[in-house]
Structure 1
Amino acid sequence: MTEQPRKPFDPSTFRDKPVSFVRRSGRMTPSQERAWEESRSDFLLEIAHGPAATSVAAGETGDPAEIFGREADLIVEVGSGQGHQILSAAAARPETNFLAVEVFRAGLARTVIRAADAGLTNLRLAEVNAPELLEHYLPEGSVAEIWVFFPDPWKKAKHHKRRLISADFARIAHRALKPGGVLRLGTDWQNYADHMREVMDEAPGFERAFEGDWAERYEGRVLTAFENKGIEKGRDIRDLTYRKI
């Protein structure tokens, strides 16, 4: 009997905490491959990985002032996808530094291509698990805002433990944010929105930066495919904003 080939070992599945991503495959076109090789060094941070795929190696740290060559507010987007949100923000706010955290290589490549075409100098990318970057790589109190827009809602009840927004993530975000720093959340899944609000209302060191049940839609967020899909299906888009105190 012919032995069936084994699937490649993926150490990213062996973690004891939720991660900021779901491993996805996606091929790059030849032109994207070339652009990735030619331009990624201008944008992609060289972060050594630990034993798990996309983990941050012990002792790896980065100073935003050195990374960007200047002192400026830093905004980190967790799960930047193909970069539509962060590219728009970086172009509109050249005085601010932006860091996109994503492990989907094809999405990173598309972000690099568009960033190079736009001549952006205030954008960097990290191909690592976001909680590890926020907890271990970036200095404490170095981030002005953290954005988590439309994370995987893990709809089934048995999978809720995999949701990114948790008490532990709130702790990590609190460490990374500077005093008065802001955590912005958005989702089109009501159950997850309720979960986010419950977690963050109880999180030590945070206060609501909105009145009523939900925050107003963040005006700096462009209409991405994820949000538009939710709208088309008749789902309410829920925003939440919390400030570090």
Structure 2
Amino acid sequence: MTEQNTPKDAAVDSSVTTRRGIRSFVLRQGRMTEGQKKAYERSWPVYGLTREHGMIDPRQVFGREAMLNLEIGFGMGKSLADMAEAAPEQDFIGVEVHLAGVGALLKEIEDRGLDNVRVYRIDANDVIDLCLPDACLDRVMVFFPDPWHKKRHHKRRLVQPEFVQRLRHKLRVGGILHLATDWENYAEHMMEVMNGSEGFANTQGESEYSPRPEDRPITKFEQRGERLGHGVWDLLFHRTN
């Protein structure tokens, strides 16, 4: 989920993004394990979605009409797989630019026999703008995005007013935007952005953070942070119009 910073000159794979200008991620060149590689080779043709698919019809993709969730930046995919396994009546689309994470999620899908997950390995901005129809999502989840903790890097943070408004149009009215971070400064930034975002209301009341919903798994990263005394902040907003 959380993307760690890498050297400034790390390359960005052109197959991952069509974007130019400020990006919220730096592409890591981590190696896939043999198991992840084999899972990718076997299962990407079944569960993978690409920019070339264009604007999808989720009912055709999943073969049914069901609650549809989008997770942006699923990391190594275990939490997404946990959620999909716990809610087989719901469908899940995961977005992650890092190949090892995609391979790891595909291995989880295979090992657990999941059929309610599909995966993009492209910039989330392209998924939002080019691949998802308006009002198709019941929930969008952005868990532990890169905090870009240095002040001069705050402009790279994913959660920004313009990004939130584009997500809003992909949510149905009443749909939930769920954000989570373990950086207090980023939590404050998220709350400021969401408080100023047209068409959203805080499910907990004005400027209130949410208790962790039971259906958001606790990640190993989060557990490690809690042992070190780090806080975790969840924000849940629903689309009002």
What's the TM-score once normalised by structure 2's chain length?
Answer: 0.89
Name the amino acid aligned to 1:243.
H
Distance 1:9 1:215, change over 3 A: closer
Q: Which residue of 1 aligns with 2:21?
A: 16
Distance verdict in 2 for CA 1:152–1:218, change over 3 Å: same
- Secondary structure in 2 matching 1:204: coil
Cα distance change, pair 141–14 in 1 and its aligned pair in 2 (3 A): closer
Matches of 1:238 and 1:183, distance apart in 2? 14
For structure 1, the residue ranges without an aligned partner over 5 or more in a row are 1-5, 49-58
Contact 1:65–1:71 (8 Å) recurs in 2: yes
1:7 deviates by: 8.1
Partner residue, 1:107: 101
1:234 is matched with which residue? 229
Is residue 195 from structure 1 mapped to residue 200 from structure 2 by the alignment? no
State the match for 1:39 in structure 2.
43
Cα distance between partner residues in 2 of 1:161 and 1:65: 36
- Mapped to 2, the partners of 1:221 and 1:123 lie a distance apart of 16
> Could you list the runs of 4 or more consecutive aligned residues of structure 1 that deviate by over 3 angstroms after TM superposition?
6-14
Instruction: Write the distance in 2 (CA, Å) between the matches of 1:148 and 1:9.
Output: 21
1:225 aligns with 2:236: no
How many Å apart are 1:44 and its aligned residue? 0.9
- Between 27-36 and 84-93, report the one with greater CA deviation: 27-36
Whole-Å separation in 2 of the counterparts to 1:92 and 1:64: 20
What is the alpha-carbon distance in structure 1 between the residues aligned to residue 166 and residue 138 of structure 2? 14
Q: Any idea what SS the aligned residue of 2:110 has?
A: helix
Q: Which residue of 2 aligns with 1:52?
A: none
> Match of 2:74?
80
Gaps of 5+ in 2: 1-8
For the 8 Å contact 1:141–1:176, the answer to whether it is kept is yes
Shift of 1:79: 0.4
| Residues 1:122 and 1:190: Cα distance change in structure 2 (over 3 Å) | same
2:208 paired residue among 195, 210, 213 = 213
* 2:55–2:132 contact (8 Å) kept in structure 1: yes
| Cα displacement string for residues 120-151 of structure 1 (whole angstroms, at most 9, x for unaligned residues) | 11111111111221232100000000000100
Partner SS, residue 159 of structure 1: helix
| Count of aligned positions | 229
Distance in 2 separating the partners of 1:7 and 1:134? 25
CA shift at 1:116, angstroms? Answer: 1.1
Quote how far apart the aligned CAs of 1:17 are: 4.5
TM-score (norm 1): 0.87
Q: CA RMSD in A?
A: 2.0
Q: Give the deviation of 1:229 after TM superposition.
A: 2.7
The partner residue of 2:115 within 118, 121, 139 is 121
